[in-house]
Structure 1
């Protein structure tokens, strides 16, 4: 994989607001093959027992990987998730934002595989680890 950046943070945020306005998280960093998103947590993200819900973590991880992929291939709105595996490792802090650090592992002609590390802001222990695959329409 070459390391050229196709979309910077500002272009990414503008693209997401236009093409995918329901996206979750705040785009903190974008580099070629990498993104960092931050999701502030409030009571709407909590499940019984006062922990951050699985769907909150999964949505954030999915968007983080989408951003990392677009940083590499450019604004391809129809890149879609085809496989998503999450391992919940530790209880997230309910009083801190969740951070999602996504990176690409392999880029083929039609499939891109990446991983996402999720952790509570300011903490080092992972709360979840994701490996996912995206299908990318043919690039022109």
Structure 2
């Protein structure tokens, strides 16, 4: 399924990171682990800078760390395209793990499949390693809160 056409971002990657740092200071306490690195029309790229705290026994990045990256990809997309409302929430997130990932940078390329007034549907390819192989793929839905009037 192609990404939804004609979507224009309303926030940059830096603005998304600033908003996430303000709304969720616990996310990156002790480092810069999860971040938006690019926002583009119809999507974004997010990164997990995985270190030893993200590893499970056997030295591979844990499923919960990759799941969090997928969720942050959706959050960065909804913030950057629907507007800077930190109250947007995950409605659904399904993930398939395909191969192991080792510590280091892990990127998620997120596409908005449908952006409506109350919901945003997205998918994200999570890639790692020197060849950028897909280690996981997720699809999800975010709820967009109604616009508040002053």
Q: Same fold (TM over 0.5)?
A: yes
- Matching residue of 2:48: 39
> Does 2:116 match 1:112?
no
- In 1: Cα distance, 2:57 partner to 2:108 partner: 23
Q: Which runs of 5+ in 1 are unaligned?
A: none
Write out the 4+ residue segments of structure 1 that deviate beyond 3 Å after TM superposition: none
> Which runs of no fewer than 5 residues in structure 2 stay unpaired?
28-32
State how many pairs are aligned.
Answer: 139
1:40 aligns to what SS in structure 2? Answer: strand
Q: Deviations over 1:18-68 (max 9, x none)?
A: 112233512211123211112112111111111110000001110111101
Once the two structures are TM-superposed, the CA of residue 121 in structure 1 deviates from its matched residue by 4.5
Residue 142 of structure 2 aligns with which residue?
Answer: 134
Equivalents in 2 of 1:117, 1:65: separation in Å?
A: 11
| Distance across 1 between alignment mates of 2:26 and 2:111 | 22
Query: 2:21 matched to 1:12?
Result: no
Q: TM-score, normalised by structure 2?
A: 0.85
TM-score, normalisation: structure 1 = 0.90
Alignment of structure 1 residues 24-103 onto 2, 5 Å: 24-92=33-101, 94-103=102-111
RMSD: 1.6
